[in-house]
Amino acid sequence: MLQDADQVTHGAARFGAGLRHDVGAAVRQLGAKRALVLSTPAQCDTALETAADLGELAAGIFAKALMHAPVEVTRDALLYAVDLKADCLVAVGGGSTTGLSKALAYRTGLPQVVIPTTYAGSEATPILGQTENGLKTTLSDPRGTPEIILYDPELVQGLPLDMTVTSGLNAMAHATEALYAPNRTADTDRRARLGLQAFADGLPKLITDPRNLEARLETQRGAWECGCLLGEVGMALHHKLCHTLGGSFGLPHAETHAIILPHAIAYNARSAARQLQPILDVFGGANAGAALHSFVCDIGAPLALKDLGLRNRDLAKAARLATQAPYPNPHPITETESLRLLQAAWAGDAPAF
């Protein structure tokens, strides 16, 4: 199974049911003998299963990964990795676990095997987001890109429906913002459309039948396409807002992406309607933001930031932070319009633009 690999920039992605059990072969391919298995506390059982598959190649388990890759957690994991004399990292989980693995690889140069259990897509990129002192910052470094990614649809087959939806929309956000990136190419446009189409087709099937293995594999391929884009082209307002809300206000990553996505795209559609045409080709409609809003409503995604615990009085601060050192964006970013966007997202209204 391992010899059939689709090559990804700086790494290899492999797809197939039961592929997670080949983790030992993947570690040996890297020339490693002492793998540190990473997970969140909630996925400790999965980490134990992975360690069992590794057998003598498993040096230990660190099951303390948290959202937004807090630097203090990375420091603890780094000390543990050094103590174990780990020579590679095996991350089994979603964006939180992958983020910890990438943070460790960035600091140590250790190679990584990532086994995704959500559709976060960050496993396909060199981008690392970290949180320290209440602020989330990002950097891009080749050391962060995993060498091997094992996509096993059986691992996401039991993913709760709410996480399936929000994680999928998180991945879709990479593709939507790639469409208007200053450094976009014909190939990135093609991959963005492929990723969006995979979720447009796959997520409704999973709403009806969450254990549909074919749809799970389809959406995993979509996550890979979308994730690769995150490392190839620049992101813009959507990601800046989500990093602000997650890093400074502690909002959950995937749910925040799901809520902000149609609002940010509607904001930018005023200046990037032509670039965003693939969204209309996939989802229909006349406005890209409205089309995505209809889709998120149809699949039962969360709609309101207030339901995630964000307070109305925090919106002005969030708008101010989001407009400081803004990412390149197709439409001018102002604090007033950012606040208007956030107010609609907070209330769960349709996009304001």
The set of residues, in sequence order, having a beta carbon less than 8 Å from that of 350 and lying 6+ positions away, is 290, 293, 344
Please state the rounded mean pLDDT for residues 78-96. 96
**Residue 262, pLDDT score:** 98
Please state the rounded mean pLDDT for residues 80-84. 97
337 token code pair: 């319009």
Return the exposure string of 173-183: e unless at least 16 CB atoms fall within 10 Å of the residue's CB, then b.
bbbbbbbbbee
**Residue 326, pLDDT score:** 81
Identify the three-state secondary structure at position 142.
Answer: helix
Are 124 and 13 in contact, with CB atoms under 8 Å apart? yes
Q: Report the run of H or E that residue 116 belongs to, with start and end.
A: strand 112-116
Please state the rounded mean pLDDT for residues 116-126. 88
**Residue 120, pLDDT score:** 79
Are 6 and 221 in contact, with CB atoms under 8 Å apart? no
168 pLDDT above the threshold of 90 = yes
**Residue 4, pLDDT score:** 40
The band of 136, judged by pLDDT with boundaries at 50, 70 and 90, is confident
Identify the three-state secondary structure at position 19.
Answer: helix
Q: What is the DSSP code (8-state) at residue 164?
A: H
The band of 6, judged by pLDDT with boundaries at 50, 70 and 90, is very low
Give the mean pLDDT of the chain.
93
**Residue 247, pLDDT score:** 86
One-letter amino acid for residue 196 of the chain: L
Are 252 and 307 in contact, with CB atoms under 8 Å apart? no
d(C-alpha 191, C-alpha 172), whole Å: 11
- What is the DSSP pairing of strand 35-38 with strand 58-62? parallel
Angle at 319 between CA 302 and CA 346, to 5 degrees: 25
How many CB atoms lie under 10 A from the CB of residue 336?
Answer: 9
124 pLDDT above the threshold of 80 = yes
pLDDT > 90 fraction of the chain, expressed in percent and rounded: 87
Paired residues of 148 in beta bridges: 12, 113
CA 144 vs CA 20, 61, 150, 347: distances in Å: 21, 20, 16, 36
Return the exposure string of 67-82: e unless at least 16 CB atoms fall within 10 Å of the residue's CB, then b.
bbbbeebbeebbebbe
Are 225 and 149 in contact, with CB atoms under 8 Å apart? no
Paired residues of 129 in beta bridges: 138
Strand order in the sheet with 148-151: 6-8, 11-15, 148-151, 112-116, 88-93, 35-38, 58-62
Start-end of H helices in the chain: 23-29, 44-54, 71-84, 95-108, 153-156, 161-178, 186-208, 213-232, 237-249, 253-272, 277-283, 288-298, 315-322, 335-347
Q: What is the DSSP code (8-state) at residue 311?
A: -
pLDDT digits (tens, 9 = 90+) for 320-353: 999 998 889 999 999 999 999 999 999 999 999 9
**Residue 57, pLDDT score:** 98
196 pLDDT above the threshold of 70 = yes
The set of residues, in sequence order, having a beta carbon less than 8 Å from that of 44 and lying 6+ positions away, is 61, 63
d(C-alpha 156, C-alpha 224), whole Å: 14
145 token code pair: 């890109």
User: Domains (ranges, CATH) in the chain?
Assistant: 6-156 (3.40.50.1970), 162-347 (1.20.1090.10)
The band of 93, judged by pLDDT with boundaries at 50, 70 and 90, is very high
